[in-house]
């Protein structure tokens, strides 16, 4: 048997690699997708091979991640439950897609992952695999009773690693878990499971990797210009950049000014609530700037229609339905809405805040001649509003009259 394992080099996937080899008598191909984790890749292959992998495949997917996954989500204006920028959610379908492709190349029988049976990632990996390769078997060790029985906690995993010479750097005392990619870093579990715990306190400042605390950000604001074409950011401060470079640049700028930190209690797809702390400095800037260009260039009804679909689109991404026909249909609509979302927005970054400092577009629908409060009957005749209001008020007047009639009739009775 041959298995392709989504491998990070951490404690869980290192143990799983060895466990799969022993319990399935299988060849295990370790696959590491570089989506911006900033891992030390030079040592990763040696670690995987020493742990028992027959092969280790490491691929740089950062540009594809930014171009084909992050940017379409931001074109849609998607935020899950109005707070979460979907950083982990949107990376999983890309990793699963490439896992399936490698499984085909290697003629593997199955793919495997280290997601637990309580979280969302198991669903995301497996729904993607079902859509792309329904014939491939998926192995999820954390959902196997024999695995959970052998490893009821981290202490047992660390002991197993030492006993079997598995090279991992892990501590039973680690107070939280962390997942990083180009879009964000998420922090969960441990001390963060107490929803009343203050993750912004001084003692937790060492946890954050992408951003400074807002109160420690520079005392002077910084201005940044973002240029958009069809809803895609193509330049920062006048310099043309690739999607990957855009994200790297905005992460640096946002992190410097303490932007993009959120503390969320969210609803997992599997039914429970969970608490997560996220750093999304570049994503927060990109989302805000994109909306500013949309306010100039999008037709009102088109914007409202797209906005009405944001909760559904976000839910599909969060729940793992990236490769579903309904998400693809919504994406086609989003692409259509972005045809004229072209322009430049200037932002002021200051101590955790993003402040608009100007916007312009060659395709702007904003016309100062019409919007002006100065007299200009040729552009907009204010007298026309009388009939407009009268027509819109008609049903309200009828409703009020009916209620008055009912009230008087009840009094007479």
Question: Is 135 part of the annotated catalytic residue set?
Answer: no
Residue that is written with structure tokens 């919504």 in the block: 330
- Cβ contacts of residue 70 below 8 Å, gap of 6+? 90, 182, 183, 243, 247, 283
Residue 132, classed as helix, strand or coil, is helix
> Whole-angstrom Cα distance, residue 275 to residue 261?
14
Region at 52 (left for phi over 0; alpha for psi -120 to 50; beta for the rest):
left
Q: Tally the residues of the chain.
A: 413
- Cβ contacts of residue 321 below 8 Å, gap of 6+? 127, 327
Question: Is 324 part of the annotated catalytic residue set?
Answer: no
Select from 110, 105, 141, 102 the least CA-distant residue to 23.
141
Select from 66, 56, 123, 58 the least CA-distant residue to 94.
66
> Whole-angstrom Cα distance, residue 95 to residue 99?
6
Question: Is 12 part of the annotated catalytic residue set?
Answer: yes
Q: Which residues pair with 266 in a beta bridge?
A: 274
Give me the helices (H) in 175-269, please.
243-256
> Whole-angstrom Cα distance, residue 133 to residue 230?
33
* Residue of 14, 62, 89, 92 with catalytic role: 92
* Residue of 43, 60, 177, 194 with catalytic role: 177
Question: Is 154 part of the annotated catalytic residue set?
Answer: no
> Whole-angstrom Cα distance, residue 154 to residue 152?
7
* Residue of 12, 314, 340, 359 with catalytic role: 12
Whether 313 and 327 have beta carbons less than 8 Å apart is answered as yes
Whether 303 and 294 have beta carbons less than 8 Å apart is answered as yes
What end-to-end distance do the CA atoms of the chain give, in Å?
84
Active-site positions read 12, 92, 121, 177
């Amino acid at each position: 048997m041959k298995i392709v394992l989504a491998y990070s080099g951490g404690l869980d996937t290192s143990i799983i690699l060895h466990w799969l080899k022993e319990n399935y008598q299988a060849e295990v191909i370790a696959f590491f997708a570089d989506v911006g984790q900033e891992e030390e890749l030079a040592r990763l292959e040696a670690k995987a091979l020493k742990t028992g992998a027959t092969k280790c495949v490491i691929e740089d997917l950062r540009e594809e991640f930014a171009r084909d996954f992050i940017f379409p989500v931001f074109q849609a204006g998607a935020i899950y439950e109005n707070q979460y920028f979907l950083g982990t959610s949107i990376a999983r379908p890309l990793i699963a897609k490439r896992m399936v492709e490698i499984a085909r190349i290697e003629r593997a029988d199955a793919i495997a992952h280290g997601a637990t049976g309580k979280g969302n990632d198991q669903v995301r990996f497996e729904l993607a695999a079902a859509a792309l390769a329904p014939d491939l078997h998926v192995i999820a060790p954390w959902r196997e009773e024999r695995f959970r029985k052998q490893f009821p906690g981290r202490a047992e995993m660390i002991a197993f690693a030492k006993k079997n010479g598995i090279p991992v750097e892990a501590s039973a005392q680690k107070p939280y878990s962390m997942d990083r990619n180009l879009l964000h870093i998420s922090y969960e579990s441990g001390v963060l499971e107490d929803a009343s715990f203050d993750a912004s306190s001084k003692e937790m400042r060492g946890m954050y990797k992408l951003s400074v605390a807002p109160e420690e950000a520079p005392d002077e604001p910084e201005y940044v210009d973002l240029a958009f074409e069809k809803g895609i950011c193509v330049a920062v401060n006048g310099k043309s950049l690739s999607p990957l470079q855009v994200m790297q640049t905005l992460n640096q700028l946002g992190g410097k000014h303490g932007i993009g930190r959120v503390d969320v209690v969210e609803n997992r797809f599997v039914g429970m609530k969970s608490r997560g702390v996220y750093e999304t400095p570049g994503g927060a800037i990109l989302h805000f700037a994109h909306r500013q260009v949309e306010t100039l260039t999008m037709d009102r009804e088109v914007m409202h229609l797209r906005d009405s679909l944001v909760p559904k689109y976000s839910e599909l991404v969060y729940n793992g339905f990236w490769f579903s026909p309904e998400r693809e249909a919504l994406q086609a609509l989003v692409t259509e809405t972005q045809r004229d979302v072209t322009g430049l927005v200037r932002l002021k970054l200051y101590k955790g805040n993003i402040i608009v400092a100007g916007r312009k577009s060659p395709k702007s629908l904003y016309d100062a001649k019409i919007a002006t409060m100065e007299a200009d009957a040729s552009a907009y005749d204010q007298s026309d509003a009388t009939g407009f209001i009268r027509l819109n008020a008609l049903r309200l007047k009828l409703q009020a009259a009916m209620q008055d009639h009912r009230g008087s009739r009840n009094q007479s009775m």
